[in-house]
Structure 1
Amino acid sequence: MCGIFGFVAPQPLPASLVIDALRTLEYRGYDSWGIAFLDGDLARERIAVLKRAGRIPASTPNLPATVIALGHTRWATHGGVTDENAHPHLDCTGTLAIVHNGIIENYLPLRRALERSGHRFRSSTDSEIFAHLLEDTIASIEEHHPSASDDIPTLVEAVRHAFNQVRGLNALIALHRPTRQLVAVKSTSPLVLGHGPAGTFVASDAVALVGYTDRIHYLQDDEIALLDHQGLQLFDRCTGQRRSARWEPLTLRPADTSLGGYPHYLIKEIHEQPRVLARIARERLDGARQLADLIRHSYGTFLVGCGTAGYAALCGSYLFSRIARRHVNAVIASEFKYQEHFLTDRSLVIALTQSGETIDVIEAVHAAKRRGATVAALVNVTGSTVARLADFTIPLSAGPEQSVLSTKAYTAKLAILLLTAHILNGSEHVGLDTLWRAIEGMEMALAPATLDRIRAVADRLVDAQHCYVIGRGLSYPTALEAALKIKEVTYIHAEGFAGGELKHGVIALIEDGSPCLVFSPLDETRADILSGAMEVRSRGGWVIGISPEPDEAFHVHIPVADVGDASPLVSIVPAQLLAYELAVRRGLDPDKPRNLAKSVTVK
């Protein structure tokens, strides 16, 4: 989940551009940051390293221009959050620097062997072993094959051999001072390459390449990339043979990754949701038709996702049952491999993911493909691992999500599932009309009058320790997602429940003043959920109703539009806004919650 970035340029570039790129990638981890670059003239050239624990500060030291550099922003797995454990890591000779995303599962035996041969370690990370392993491999090649073929540069050959010794899902970039080259290699964890007039670049995410290139190549697991002042060379990781890049346009623009006048990315992305859904209504109908056809001809359909995407999957199972009279299973991606045994070559697995790099979703996709199932994907990053693995993909087209919390990708998934369910039912026109009504309802939920009520609720809840959220039917997944948003960004203990479960134990948690959000659309669940809300109120709970109409069970009513089966799209918006307002009042960073990162690429 770490962010990595590097460049090689024909003419010196400011080393500080690496730090700017790392700020763009900081959503992937913000425990520490660091940069390595060539400094000094040719006679006294060295790898200079600047690295610190904590987030990237607003101002950093002035750095010289350089022709080669790499950097890293860390989400800690092995080793504490310290300056020593921050990346980049150097080898013993100071001629190599590496940055790493992933986990080297066999790092302990490798480290012990390297220590026995005299290597000195400066950190307690698993990552540092690759610098020393690469140092040994280069020395061995130069000793035993001093006249190695120019067809396979020594650095590429060394990375091939060293990378084959590590286990796990990893992405690595190595900087080699003597040759002024970068080498990039990966297994599942993402790396994107770009080339432009200023130089050749590599990053964990294409958003970090915006402004430097207008074309990109997604590095494959069986490739190694060599970056030097002349550009990019690709090699087959197994054979060493040269390969050609498959360039595609980088469609992102600087405006896509800027705050656009908002104080935080989270509130910007919440407000972007109506525009995202309008794009889906205009551009994704054919994709929904094709997905509906895949479901229609499958024998067993499964929606899989993690976290927020998992709740979108659960909501999808209700939509397909309710609208299309179709049984579609929702499974948490991390649990899917324990339930893969019923898959056949007639099964359909639909993967839901924002980044397309979530390791649990990738493993679920691999499990499905091993058993011959068809894989479809609703994914926001078109060149991602899941997008490449899937047999059929519908791009969410939500634009970059730079807040760790997912908002617009969540509602984009729901919009596509809603349309697909209606197409299966033969009511495509109804689905489109419902989606457009939901877009209008979202805009109402984002209006100042609604926001004023939400801010008043946030003022009351700012010091709360617990919060409960209930819903039934289509609103049950919404309750789970609302609770997740609150706990992710405010650190208030929030729990979502099916409203009917209150009397089966949950109501024991309610005491005087306990806040409880209640989702109450105007559907068949209303009478039952209001009954539960009144039970909470009668036991001293403070009830906030998110509903098209008020009710005596509510202490506070937050009005939302009545949009029928699209209610999950509209009802979640006040919960997203409440989470944001609470985080701001509690002095927390809404974009970077503690312990979390956006793209969960490790197990």
Structure 2
Amino acid sequence: MCGIVGIVSEDINIVPLLVRSLKRLEYRGYDSAGFAFVIEGKIVVLKDRGYIDHVVKEYNILSLYSNIGIAHTRWATHGQPSKANAHPHTDCGGLVAVVHNGIISNYVELKQYLEEKGHIFRSETDTEVIAHLLEEYIVNEKLTPLQALHRLVKTLKGTYAIALLYAKTPNRIYFAKNVSPLILAVSPTYGLLASDIPSLIEYSRKVVVVEDGEYGFVEPGNIVLYRDGKVVNWRPRIHVVGWSVTDIEKAGYPHFMLKEIMEQPRALYDTYSGALADENIVKAAKLIIESNKIFITGAGTSYHAGLTATYYFARIANQLPYTFISSEADLYADLASEETVLIAISQSGETIDTLKAVRLFKERGAKIIAISNVIGSAIPREADVTVYTRAGPEIGVAATKTYLTQILILQYIAISTGLLKGLYTENDAKEYIKLLGQAPKAVEQSLQRASPHINRLAMRLHREEHMYILGRLLGAFLALEAALKIKEVSYIHAEAYPAGESKHGPIALVQKGFPTIFIGTPPVQIVEKIASNIEEMMSRGAFTILIGLNCYEDVKADFRLLLGPCNEYLAPYYIMPPLQLLAYRLAVLRGYDPDKPRNLAKTVTVE
């Protein structure tokens, strides 16, 4: 959840680079920010509650000169948002400055031990124990920084990505990692590390993912990596990132969320094209047909993609997976065995709850299929088979293009599974796959048709504080994602239900003008049922909205938007982009920044 960046050079002033790089992690969400530099042999720490721009202006940071620095954006987990609790943290003597992402689970006992040794703490955070431990090891026990790091890795329990400065080595940034993500970049000029790729892409497209239990340092033009006191050869692990700085900029759009909604045709085209040649889709299908239980897991939007996949596996592959939210994995893992497959969905590949679910299932012998947008991330490294979406970088906190690319990959795996099970011929499978190739055009046409109508609808709804979003079968799953988008960015309390459930409680809240959105999806057998549900809501005064496909042309509602042919395989691509656009328009009309929803982080790396 927090953002970490470190840059070191021989003699180049890295201060403006560090500020720019940290700002590229703003999408992860934060409540405070800070910087540490070595200047004239001393560590200088500048931090405060609030946005990066505030901290930079408050301390006139861009007027400084330093060849080395670390920076951090913090979401509060231990200790409230405050200047004292913001990172970096230092030791008593000011020789060490530390930034950290994660949770140190044994920090209470470590803090007590250090206080007994005479260390004085100035914050409420778990991170500060790291700085004092290093001081204890280096100053009092006379260990070298690398020896101290080795000892630190053995001592700390929990999750962490750590970057630190030591005043006496002003050309090295030290690091250590367990569970929380940490990336190194290969550069002839700089030493570079960060918690995510966007902050480093300006300087290098070659990255190395640090693995659990590893530690070391970066220096100008060099990386030194250790595990258990032994040097690790990192060069075979270099990944070349397939996108550039322009991909992580707004490119003239007012917000990343709008840019990424509009990028969906391209993201789907790239994902579809990649899937056509991806042998891992067939490998994933083989694992599925060799299993006796299939589970799908994810968090947030990825969970909703998994629910949608449940529908398609049932329809295409005659198989009904168990789909669960990753944070509830403890219950489901007890049902796993060597004949189980878990499909783990994570945009970042680092979502902590999904990673924990993967590890719980692996402990019981389950096979893992990962679906991720980030090559080399943690969950793919744990998986037996990985299929990557090719959505490109997604900066907006509210997932848009990665959601639809996840659905496309899951549909493709379902088709391959059905083919391997002999449910249809190879020609039939080719027709299904050819149909998926229409997804980019479906999104493009839908957005073109919907945009003016969505603008008008948003004007009608933006002062509302509550709404329902209802659907049946596939539509119920799409409704969940639509409600999440609206809640995330506009802060309107949107609740999704299967439409048939409305009479079992939710309808009690409906009164004159209450907005109720109905998702109109195939199969045609449910059209009359949705029509009946709409009439039921209208009779109680609800403002009814129908967003669906052309098979609903005879269904009445106060506001109707029909978006394309009645095809269940293309339904998400016609229906979801306008709903994403509605969430975006509502946020803007209500005066909120859809790229920075309050209290939310793009990548959740703490439990």
The TM-score, its normalising length taken from structure 2, stands at 0.94
Asked whether 1:559 is paired with 2:562, we answer yes
1:176 and 2:172 are equivalent in the alignment: no
**Aligned counterpart in structure 2 of residue 242 of structure 1, from 215, 223, 231:** 231
Give the equivalent residue in structure 1 for 2:442: 441
Give per-residue Cα distances to partners, 1:460-500, cap 9 Å, x unaligned: 11111101000111111100110010001111111000011
Distance 1:252 1:515 in 2: 41
Query: What residue in structure 2 maps to residue 55 of structure 1?
Result: 51
Shift of 1:230: 5.8
From 341, 363, 366, the equivalent of 1:373 is 366
- Cα offset, 1:411, TM superposition: 0.5
**CA distance in structure 2 between the partners assigned to 1:140 and 1:242 by the alignment:** 26
Alignment match, 2:517: 517
1:134 aligns with 2:134: yes
Change (3 A) 1:536 1:117: same
- State the match for 2:149 in structure 1: 159
Instruction: Give the SS at the match of 1:201.
Output: strand
- Distance (whole Å) between structure 1 residues aligned to residue 63 and residue 606 of structure 2: 32
Q: Distance in 2 between matches of 1:193 and 1:509?
A: 52
3-state SS of paired residue (2:544): strand
Q: Cα distance, 1:168 vs. partner?
A: 0.9
After superposition, what is the alpha-carbon deviation per residue over 1:184-212, rounded to whole angstroms, capped at 9, x for unaligned? Answer: 11111110111213211000011211121
Match of 1:600 in 2: 604
Q: How many residues of Structure 1 are paired with residues of Structure 2 in the alignment?
A: 586
Aligned residue for 1:151? none
Identity, in percent, stands at: 39
1:537 Cα deviation (Å)?
1.2
| Aligned pairs for 1:315-464 within 5 A | 315-426=308-419, 427-447=428-448, 449-464=449-464
Is the contact between residue 5 and residue 22 of structure 2 (CA under 8 Å) also seen in structure 1?
yes
Moved more, 396-405 or 115-124: 115-124
Q: Aligned AA for 2:602?
A: K
Tell me what 2:583 maps to. Answer: 579
Structure 1 counterpart of 2:247, from 253, 256, 280 = 256
2:257 is matched with: 266
Native 8 Å contact 1:519 1:547 kept in 2:
yes
Q: Match for 1:193 among 184, 187, 200? A: 184
- Mapped partners of 1:207, 1:383: distance in 2: 15
Say whether the 8 Å CA contact 1:8–1:69 is kept in structure 2.
yes
Q: Deviations over 1:198-253 (max 9, x none)?
A: 211000011211121231111111311212346211111x2x01121132323221
Please give the alpha-carbon distance, in whole angstroms, between the structure 2 residues aligned to 1:495 and 1:271.
Answer: 25
Q: What per-residue deviation string (whole Å, max 9, x for no partner) do you get for residues 111-163 of structure 1?
A: 22222322222221111111111111112331xx6xxxxxxxx1011022123
Q: CA RMSD in A?
A: 1.5
Residue matched to 1:104: 104
Q: Normalising to structure 1: TM-score of the pair? A: 0.94
- Residue 196 of structure 2 aligns with an amino acid whose one-letter code is D
Residue identity matched to 1:440: K
How far is the alpha carbon of 1:107 from its aligned partner?
A: 1.6
CA contact (8 A) 1:15 1:66 kept: yes
- Alpha-carbon distance in structure 1 between the residues aligned to 2:556 and 2:125: 54
SS of alignment partner, residue 234 of structure 1: strand
Give SS of 2:593's match: coil
User: What is the rounded CA distance, in whole Å, between the counterparts of 1:66 and 1:213 in structure 2?
Assistant: 21
Measure the CA separation in 2 of the matches of 1:303 and 1:327. Answer: 10
Report runs of 4+ in structure 1 exceeding 4 Å deviation: none
After TM superposition, the structure 1 stretch with the greater mean CA deviation from structure 2, 583-592 or 522-531, is 522-531
SS of match in other structure, 2:52: coil
**Counterpart code for 1:533:** I
Q: Is 1:213 matched up with 2:204?
A: yes
Which amino acid in the other structure matches residue 355 of structure 2? I
SS of the equivalent of 2:518 reads strand
Instruction: Tell whether the 8 Å contact from 2:205 to 2:241 is kept in structure 1 after alignment.
Output: yes
Residue 536 of structure 1 is matched in structure 2 by: 537
Range that drifts further, 121-130 or 182-191:
121-130
Report the CA distance between 1:576 and its aligned residue.
0.5
Asked if 1 retains the 8 angstrom alpha-carbon contact of 2:188 and 2:220, the reply is no
CA deviation after TM superposition for structure 1 residue 522, in Å: 4.1
Q: Deviations over 1:493-547 (max 9, x none)?
A: 1100001101111111111111011001242322111211111111111111102
SS in 1 for 2:186: strand
The CA distance in 1 between the partners of 2:218 and 2:417, in whole Å, is 49
The 1-side partners of 2:324 and 2:548 are apart by: 28
2:298 to 281, 286, 305: 305
Amino acid paired to 2:467: C
User: Residues of 1 paired with 2:38 and 2:272: CA distance?
Assistant: 50
User: Deviations along 1:408-430, whole A, 9 cap, x unmatched?
Assistant: 11101101111222233333222
Alpha-carbon distance, 1:386 to partner: 0.2
Q: Distance in 2 between matches of 1:290 and 1:373?
A: 15
Number of the residue aligned with 2:469: 469
Letter in 1 for 2:598: R
Deviation sequence 1:531-577 (CA, Å, 0-9, x none): 11111111111111102244453111122112332212321111100
What is the rounded CA distance, in whole Å, between the counterparts of 1:232 and 1:339 in structure 2? 41
User: Matches of 2:478 and 2:199 in 1, distance apart?
Assistant: 32
The answer to whether the 8 A contact 2:189-2:220 is kept is: no
2:422 is aligned to none
For 2:36 and 2:292, the matched residues in 1 are separated by 53
* Contact 2:518–2:547, Cα closer than 8 Å, also in 1: yes
Deviations 1:370-405 (A, max 9, x none): 111110111011111001110100011111111111
Any idea what the Cα deviations from partners look like across 1:286-340, whole Å, max 9, x if unmatched?
Answer: 3333322221222111111111111111111111111221122211111122121
Q: Secondary structure at the match of 1:226?
A: strand
The residue number in structure 1 matching 2:24 is 24
Stretch of structure 1 that moved more, 182-191 or 23-32? 23-32
* Cα 1:433/1:116, change in 2 over 3 Å: same
The residue number in structure 2 matching 1:89 is 89
Q: What is the letter of the counterpart of residue 248 of structure 2?
A: T
CA contact (8 A) 2:462 2:590 kept: yes
Contact 1:419/1:428, CA 8 A, preserved across alignment: no
Distance 1:122 1:551, change over 3 A: farther
Once the two structures are TM-superposed, the CA of residue 267 in structure 1 deviates from its matched residue by: 0.6
| Unmatched segments (≥5 aa) in structure 2 | 420-427
Secondary structure of the structure 1 residue equivalent to 2:13:
strand
Range with greater deviation from structure 2 (130-139 or 290-299): 290-299
Do 2:198 and 2:248's aligned partners in 1 also have CA atoms closer than 8 Å? Answer: yes
Alignment partner, residue 425 of structure 2: none
